[in-house]
Chains A and B, each alone.
Chain A
Amino acid sequence: GAGVSQSPSNKVTEKGKDVELRCDPISGHTALYWYRQSLGQGLEFLIYFQGNSAPDKSGLPSDRFSAERTGGSVSTLTIQRTQQEDSAVYLCASSLAPGYQETQYFGPGTRLLVL
């Protein structure tokens, strides 16, 4: 497709389980970003990739969160031992090049609910 895609669109899990969220960026976009939006809040930066490396992981809330990107394309965000406060919409974005003043294009998000 032409846009950023994310899967699954919805995920319900039990506290303590691990989850994997996937992002397919726009073809040719070298930069990829993960954000999350908790209920009633703005978007919170988690991590960004330039190619397969992550120059900025400063937004990852704890060591239960990790992300990787392979082949300069698909990225996976993994949350281990999920907690109820992890419930949020996880949004992925990509841009043609890394760095500021580049427009970021967002996917539809994965809605995660931890029971």
Chain B
Amino acid sequence: NAGVMQNPRHLVRRRGQEARLRCSPMKGHSHVYWYRQLPEEGLKFMVYLQKENIIDESGMPKERFSAEFPKEGPSILRIQQVVRGDSAAYFCASSPMEGNTEAFFGQGTRLTVV
């Protein structure tokens, strides 16, 4: 049973470009969470999705950020017109149930905006 798969592991974008981060949850998991971790900071919740639905996006910036989890395929976190402050590690986690059970994390995508 493969774990949570994120790709790419490292992503470099110039200011103003778009970044697309992918997350394939563990087999059998239909709940996906995205977190952002700035250097020397904790993990900040961004968005919680189930298949084809955004359940809670209270941690997402209002502009430039969007997320989806289609019926088929991985969950995508999309950042438009990236700025230097978007540089961070973005972690995806999945669980078989809602957040009252442990979540399993992918290895993260390290986004660097130059």
Chain A bound to chain B: no
- B: residues with CB less than 8 A from A are none
- A: residues with CB less than 8 A from B are none
